[in-house]
Amino acid sequence: MNGGFTRQGTYFNCLPLSAAGLPSVGTLNPVKRRFLSAAAEAIIPALLLAALIILHPVSIDLAVERFFAPDGTFPLQNSAALLFFHKWAKLLTVFVALGVIAIAVKDRAKISPRISVTEAGYLITAILVCVGTVSVLKDMTGVYCPVSTTFFGGTHPILAPHFEFSLSAPGNCWPGGFAGTGFSLIPFWFAFRRRRPTLARVGLFFAILFGTVCGVIQMMRGYHFPSHNVATFLLDWSLSALVYLAFLASSLKRSHAARFIRIPQKA
């Protein structure tokens, strides 16, 4: 059976060993490809995020936000429906995480679990890393929301993110936190794309759709520029890949110690 990283005793594929008892050189190529693929998926979004910060597309941000505030104010800023969605939508990510844990615990003794313990460990870790990093950066980067800027009746300028070693920088608006409610589920793509590719694609589609909806709602209310939400998407994708790399390295280290490596049969 094909697999990603799974709990001990599940989805092991033994490899040919050399005379020294180590995997033959040829059998390591798929592993190297997995590392290179995940590394690229971590590096490329990080580079795009750096470019976004440097270029700081103010004109695009203003053009989009003026669509939601044609007279300089945001009519939906205090919309009851949007406030309700903003309050309760965050719980969906919590329920997804709890569901992942529950399924992994229930299936832990099965030969073919729906979600293995290691997969669940990766998912929960990556989600927490994404949410935590966005939260910390919001407190460090000193970026104001559209509604607080002089362009929309506020008193502050539009600023590019600047990183300070302080968790009390003013603004608290970059990257987009509510968009991260959905984008923090991007790890589903990395966790299942080899063992359960359909689930991986559905998870990725839902993460992008949910994150986009959450981000647009905050833009409608005047609490984020579009570049703030794009930054969250790029950041969460990069972090998801980095955590995947860490779990993959740990899995391979344990496998080498036992003289076999888990490798998916599908590329």
Give the pLDDT confidence score for residue 202 in this predicted structure: 97
Q: Which residues of the chain have pLDDT under 70?
A: 1-29, 255-267
Give the pLDDT confidence score for residue 258 in this predicted structure: 52
C-alpha distances in Å from residue 101, one per residue of 98, 106, 110, 114, 219: 5, 9, 15, 11, 33
What does pTM read for this prediction?
0.85
Q: In angstroms, rounded to a whole number, what is the distance separating the alpha carbons of residues 173 and 139?
A: 8
Give the pLDDT confidence score for residue 13 in this predicted structure: 39
